[in-house]
Amino acid sequence: MRYIRPHSMEDAVGQLAGSPGTAAILAGGSDLLVRMKGGFIEPDLIVDIKSIDGLGEIRETADGFSIGAAVSCALMGESAALKREWPGVVEAAKLIGSKQVQGRCTIVGNLCNASPAADSVPALVAAGARALIIGPGGRRTVAVEAVPTGPGKTSLAKGEIIEAILLDRRAPRSGDAYLRFIPRTEMDIAVVSAGVKLTLDEQGVVKSARVALGAVAPTVLLVEEAAEALIGRKLDEAALERLAKVCSGTCRPIDDKRGTVEFRRKVAGVLAGRAATTAYARAGGK
C-alpha cells in the first residue's frame, strides 16, 4: 500500500488516474479508515488531499458558497454566514458522528461513501447543491444527487475527485430544513430522513420547492411530485397531508432490524411534513 500527500489537485488527479490498482481518497477518513480496519477494503494507493490549497476552506462569493472537499463538519458549524444562509445543510452536517468525528468528517466524504442513509446528502439535494469535479478531462459540475448511483457506488470516473460542494446564494423568502429518525438520541444511522427547501411569494404561498428523502431507497430520492403538492399553496394542513401521502408512496425501503417497510413509509411522510413546516417558518411563512 502506498500513501501520498499531494499539494495540488493536478498531482492528486494524476496519481489517481495512473494508479494500476485500487485507490482511495483520504479527506477526513471517518469512513475510509473504519472500512480499512474492518477488512472491507485494502487500497493499493491512498491519496491524502488535506494539504491541497483551498480544499480546507469555505469560500463565500457573490453567487454563494464553495465548501472545499477537506472542510470538516465542525468547521461548517462554525461558519455564521453558512448557518444563516443554509441552516438545514449545516444541521445535517452536524449530525454526522460524534464530537470527535466532527473534527474530521466531511460532507464530500459523506457523499462519496454513497450510503443511502447519509445525513448530509438529503439536505444538500434539497438545497440544490452541486459537486465541482476535477479529473483527467478537466473540471465539470453535476447535481449532488447525480453522484451516488447505489450503495457504496458513485458516478465518478477513474482519476476524478470532488473538489468542492457549491451552494447558491439563498433566494429571498426561502428556507431549508433537515430531519431524521434514529432509534437512539445521538450517534446513529438514519432509519428515515428528509430535507426540504421552500421559496415563498409575498403572500406566503410556496412558489418553488425541493423535497429529498434518505434511507428509503438505494439512493437519496428527489421527490418532484412532493414539491408539486406544495407549490401554489400555503403550508396548511391539507398541503401537509398531500405531502405526506406522496412521500410515503414514493419510498422504496427495505425491511431490516432497524425498521419495517411500513414503518419507514409512514415516518417518511411525517418527517417531510415536519421539515417542510420548519423550512416554511424559516422562509418567513406564517
Contacts of residue 271, defined as CB under 8 A and 6 or more positions apart, other chains included, come to: 179, 180, 181, 192, 193, 194
30 and 106 share one domain: yes
**Residue 35 near residue 26 (C-beta atoms within 8 A):** no
Q: What is the CATH number of the domain that holds 40?
A: 3.30.465.10
Q: What is the CATH number of the domain that holds 242?
A: 3.30.390.50
C-alpha cell, 201: 411569494
128 and 182 share one domain: no
156 and 178 share one domain: no
Which residues are registered as beta bridge partners of 64?
A: 168
**Residue 256 near residue 239 (C-beta atoms within 8 A):** no
Dihedrals φ, ψ of 183, to 5°?
-65, -30
**Residue 160 near residue 180 (C-beta atoms within 8 A):** no
pLDDT tens per residue, the chain (286 residues)? Answer: 999 999 999 999 999 999 999 999 999 999 999 999 999 999 999 999 999 999 999 999 999 999 999 999 999 999 999 999 999 999 999 999 888 899 999 999 999 999 999 999 999 999 999 999 999 999 999 999 999 999 999 999 999 999 999 999 999 999 999 999 998 776 788 999 999 999 999 999 999 999 999 999 999 999 999 999 999 999 999 999 999 999 999 999 988 888 899 999 999 999 999 999 999 999 999 8
Per residue in 3-18, pLDDT tens? Answer: 999 999 999 999 999 9
pTM of model > 0.75: yes
228 and 274 share one domain: yes
C-alpha cell, 99: 464530537
Domain termination residue (choose one: 168, 193, 212): 168
Spatial distance between the Cα atoms of 239 and 166, rounded to a whole number of angstroms: 31
163 and 199 share one domain: no
C-alpha cell, 249: 408512496
9 and 34 share one domain: yes
179 and 137 share one domain: no
148 and 186 share one domain: no
32 and 9 share one domain: yes
124 and 41 share one domain: yes
Three-class secondary structure of residue 73 per DSSP: helix
Domain termination residue (choose one: 168, 187, 205): 168
Per residue in 157-200, pLDDT tens? Answer: 999 999 999 999 999 999 999 999 998 776 788 999 999 999 99
pLDDT of residue 57: 97
DSSP 95-146: TSS-HHHHTT-BHHHHHHTT-TT-SHHHHHHHHT-EEEEEETTEEEEEEGGG
Spatial distance between the Cα atoms of 135 and 129, rounded to a whole number of angstroms: 20
pLDDT of residue 66: 98
Spatial distance between the Cα atoms of 234 and 238, rounded to a whole number of angstroms: 9
Q: By residue range, what is the domain housing residue 190?
A: 174-282
Contacts of residue 223, defined as CB under 8 A and 6 or more positions apart, other chains included, come to: 211, 212, 213, 246, 247, 250, 272
Contacts of residue 156, defined as CB under 8 A and 6 or more positions apart, other chains included, come to: 112, 133, 135, 147, 162
**Residue 140 near residue 105 (C-beta atoms within 8 A):** no
Burial 100-137 (b: 16+ CB within 10 A, else e): ebbebbbbbbbbbbbbbbbbbbbbbbbbbbbbbbbbee
Domain termination residue (choose one: 118, 147, 168): 168
Distances (CA, A) of 258 to 69, 126, 188, 192: 31, 25, 11, 10
Q: What angle do CA 198, 130, 105 make, to 5 degrees?
A: 100
